[in-house]
């Protein structure tokens, strides 16, 4: 087993990665295009690279963020719009998440205007913020 292959496979086993992240790892490791294609294909066949699964895991791990921020972060990691939308569709409703977060902040005595600002800052849509603020 080549040193690069071992290093790459170990990296893919340690943490979930997108196709873009895996490719960037190989480029930084000075792999040639043929080697990149071969290693990427092998890792995908082994299930070590799966953008759809990555998107679902990411969304599940960031439910205190709004859909706008989640979508942005996934896009920065190279995921396609379809994978992002599918993962967000499977997640708990954004409006419900915003309401739960706002309710917790209200109990802590945070002012309403600050709650709205914080929700927007976490990437919740204006619809979710309005709904959390009105209680509807």
pLDDT in tens, 16-50: 999 999 999 999 999 999 999 999 999 999 999 99
The pLDDT assigned to 124 comes to 98
pLDDT reported for residue 24: 97
Handedness of CA 94, 80, 49, 32 (dihedral sign): negative
Helix (H, G, I), strand (E, B) or coil at 57: helix
User: Average pLDDT of 87-107?
Assistant: 95
pLDDT at 117: 97
Average pLDDT for 1-10? 90
Please give the pLDDT value at position 34: 95
pLDDT score for 2: 87
**Average pLDDT score over the chain:** 95
Give the start-end residues of each E strand in the chain: none
pTM above 0.75, yes or no: yes
Residues 6+ apart with CB under 8 A from 11: 17, 25
Q: What does the alpha-carbon distance between residue 8 and residue 23 come to, in Å, rounded to a whole number?
A: 10
- Determine phi and psi for 80, rounding to 5 degrees: -80, 160
Q: What is the mean pLDDT of residues 116-132?
A: 97
3-state helix, strand and coil shares in percent for the chain, rounded to the nearest 5: 75, 0, 25
3-class DSSP assignment, residue 52 = helix
Grade residue 136 by pLDDT with cuts at 50, 70 and 90. Answer: low
48 alpha carbon, distance to own chain's centre: 17
């Amino acid at each position: 087993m080549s040193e690069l292959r071992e290093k790459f496979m170990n990296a893919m086993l340690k943490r979930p990665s997108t196709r873009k992240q895996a490719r960037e790892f190989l480029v930084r490791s000075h792999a040639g295009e043929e080697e990149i294609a071969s290693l990427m294909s092998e890792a995908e066949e082994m299930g070590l690279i799966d953008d759809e699964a990555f998107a679902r895991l990411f969304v599940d791990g960031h439910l205190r963020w709004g859909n706008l921020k989640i979508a942005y972060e996934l896009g920065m990691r190279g995921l396609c719009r379809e994978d992002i939308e599918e993962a967000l569709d499977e997640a708990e409703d954004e409006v419900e998440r915003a309401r739960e977060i706002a309710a917790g902040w209200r109990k802590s005595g945070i002012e309403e205007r600050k709650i709205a600002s914080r929700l927007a800052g976490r990437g919740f849509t204006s619809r979710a913020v309005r709904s959390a603020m009105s209680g509807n």
